A and B are shown apart, each in its own frame.
Chain A
Amino acid sequence: AQSVTQPDIHITVSEGASLELRCNYSYGATPYLFWYVQSPGQGLQLLLKYFSGDTLVQGIKGFEAEFKRSQSSFNLRKPSVHWSDAAEYFCAAHSGGSNYKLTFGKGTLLTVNP
């Protein structure tokens, strides 16, 4: 079955430290891949997406993600975390075509210490 796994439920980093959030997918073919962020009490905002091409994609708010086919991974990174980055982050995948189902990971909650 198609699935998206985020191995880390909760991550705590200090402000200014680097960040990497992990995401692995299980699909027959390379899916479309997304990272969304959800601030407390808010909806989901798209950070970045990967459809094809360059495996390093840049997003909003200084985030980037790297697609690695060999590892079935799409990890999200940020060189220096700000307190305002504290939120829940969701990786999602879509197989494209006529399949409308966007499959989400269970999310990683990011806490930023001052």
Chain B
Amino acid sequence: NAGVTQTPKFQVLKTGQSMTLQCAQDMNHNSMYWYRQDPGMGLRLIYYSASEGTTDKGEVPNGYNVSRLNKREFSLRLESAAPSQTSVYFCASSERDGNIQYFGAGTRLSVL
């Protein structure tokens, strides 16, 4: 049982480049989330999807877009990467709102 799978694990971008972070879960969960983790800041919610077909902004959405492709997959897109987006990105899923969230292993992104 893979749980939550994130790709890629590592990525280096130049300022202005775009990329998409992929996330897939195999637990048949309804809700999915994207967080970023920065030193001393804990995890901050970027976007979430309560259910297939819906997405909403979290605490730090600026500079990001998301797509809930289907029930399994939730992608995060950086249209024009900035050095301030250097971070570790985590995807999570939960059966429904208010339930336990299960996390992927993370994507370590550096923007030069």
Contacts and interface: CB of A to CB of B under 8 A. Distances in A.
Interface stretch (B13-21, B67-75, B98-106): B98-106
A99 B42 contact: no
Q: Which of A32, A98, A100, A105 has the most CB of B within 10 A?
A: A100
Q: Which of A32, A36, A97, A102 has the most CB of B within 10 A?
A: A102
Chain B's interface size range is 20 to 34
A101 B40 contact: no
Interface residues of A, number: 23
A79 interface: no
A75 B61 CA distance: 31
Interface of B: 4, 31, 33, 40-45, 48, 50, 56, 58-59, 90, 92, 97-98, 100-106
